[in-house]
Amino acid sequence: MLWAPLTMNDGNRIPRIAYGTWRRGNGEEAIAYVSNALSVGFTHIDSAQVYKNEAEAGAAIRASGLKREDIFITTKYSSLADIDTSIRNSCDWFGVDSVDLYLIHGPNHAKPDIPTIWKKMEGINEAGLAKSIGVSKFMVSHLEILLESANIRPAVNQIMVHPQVMHIQGPVIEFCKKEGIVLIPTYSPLIHYSDGLVARLAHEIAQRLGVKPEQVLIAWSKSKGVVVVTSSTKKERLEDIFSAGELELSPEDIKAIDAAGLADTQELPTPAMYAKKTVSSTPS
Ligand SMILES: NC(=O)c1ccc[n+]([C@@H]2O[C@H](COP(=O)([O-])OP(=O)(O)OC[C@H]3O[C@@H](n4cnc5c(N)ncnc54)[C@H](OP(=O)(O)O)[C@@H]3O)[C@@H](O)[C@H]2O)c1
């Protein structure tokens, strides 16, 4: 099965590829993008309070005719209001009784502190407003603080994973694996699609395999055993990305991309530098 779901530590299942709505605008435009993704086969929508298009995603889901149980909704608490109001608003925007996965958008949103906000997340889970709960952009130190007082372990930690940041994210990926508690949904698999050694290698491998470079990068992400969170405004690209679920890279190609990613870090911007140069009015 293409992109067969993974089972999280709470027993709930999560589709292995998600369509992200960051930078997908509002209104009819945003509805059209999400509708494209659903028509291609994406059943997992990744949103956030701060993207301000949860209502559009909900409208696209309803228009698709898909049943609620066939769609997986992830959204994030971005501390724009108190958390109890925020989750209720997100459910209302999506037009659902509960979301499938609710995340703290980042440690900077864990206000007043990580234990207090996680306790609130546990309450949201127990109240049935979020079937699973997790975090995003948490590093090892943040997870350690959270786990000290947690009754419910985070189901996921959503972090940036692409070949050029594997060496930075390695410790948190290892920590999550060791604890056996957290899946790592990735985002930004295509961030350095067009520059650097990884891009050149992806083009070479793609030519050899008769596929597209972005499919090679998506297959690399999938090879890391994670949920891939990606996006495109173009339906044909989404079709290519989705069908990359069938593409298995050889261990040699995966190792070569890993090595190119590390080498690229000498010449490409770090995630922090990228954040500065990203043309976006809202944080991711
Ligand atoms: N938790 C967090 O804090 C956080 C942070 C960042 C992102 N995310 C989530 O992850 C999702 C994906 O993030 P992302 O947008 O950085 O993902 P991405 O998959 O790395 O990048 C998507 C971009 O790549 C471009 N692209 C795709 N194929 C391409 C090709 N063949 N050639 C050139 N460009 C190509 C797309 O442009 P076109 O539209 O032109 O195809 C699109 O803008 C977000 O929407 C969000 O849901 C979460």
Q: What is the pLDDT of residue 225?
A: 75
255: exposed, middle or buried (Cβ count in 10 Å: 0-12, 13-18, 19+): exposed
Q: Is 196 exposed, middle or buried (0-12, 13-18, 19+ CB in 10 A)?
A: buried
Give the per-residue pLDDT at 284.
Answer: 67
pLDDT at 177: 86
In the numeric block, the tokens 């059209």 are attached to 32
pLDDT of residue 255: 94
221 Cβ below 6 A of ligand 1? no
Q: Are 22 and 282 in contact (CB under 8 A)?
A: yes
Task: Specify the DSSP element, H or E, that contains 160.
Answer: strand 157-160
**How many CA atoms, within 13 angstroms, populate the side-chain half-sphere of residue 55?**
7
State if residue 188 touches ligand 1 by the CB under 6 angstroms criterion.
Answer: yes
What is the CA(235)–ligand 1 centre distance, in A? 13
Q: For position 167, what pLDDT does the model report?
A: 85
Q: What is the pLDDT of residue 181?
A: 62
158 lines ligand 1 (CB under 6 A): yes
Contact 109, 77 (CB under 8 A): yes
* pTM attached to this predicted model: 0.92
Instruction: Kindly list the structural domains of the chain, giving each domain's residue range(s) and its CATH number in brackets, ordered by start.
Output: 6-192+224-247 (3.20.20.100)
The residue whose CA is least distant from atom 24 of ligand 1 is: 190
Closest CA to 32 of 256, 252, 247, 233: 233
Q: Confirm if 91 and 97 have CB atoms less than 8 A apart.
A: yes
Peptide bond into 163 cis (omega under 30): no
Residue 281, pLDDT score: 40
- d(CA 70, CA 162) in angstroms, rounded, equals 28
Does ligand 1 lie within 6 Å of residue 21's CB atom? yes
pLDDT tens digits, the chain, 284 residues: what are they?
788 899 999 999 999 999 999 999 999 999 999 999 999 999 999 999 999 999 999 999 999 999 999 999 999 999 999 999 999 999 999 999 999 999 999 999 999 999 999 999 999 999 999 999 999 999 999 999 999 999 999 999 999 988 888 888 889 999 998 886 677 777 777 776 667 889 999 999 999 999 999 999 999 999 887 899 999 999 999 999 999 999 999 999 999 999 999 888 766 555 554 444 333 445 56
Cα–Cα distance, 49 to 46 (Å, whole number): 11
Query: Is 142 near ligand 1, meaning CB less than 6 Å away?
Result: no
Question: How many whole angstroms from 73 Cα to the centroid of ligand 1?
Answer: 18
pLDDT at position 275, please? 44
Q: Which ligand 1 atom sits nearest the alpha carbon of residue 48? A: 47
Contact of 52 with 45, CB cutoff 8 Å: no
Locate the ligand 1 atom nearest the alpha carbon of residue 190 and give its number: 20
- Residues annotated as catalytic are 51, 105
Rounded to the nearest angstrom, the distance between the alpha carbon of 126 and the centre of ligand 1 is 33
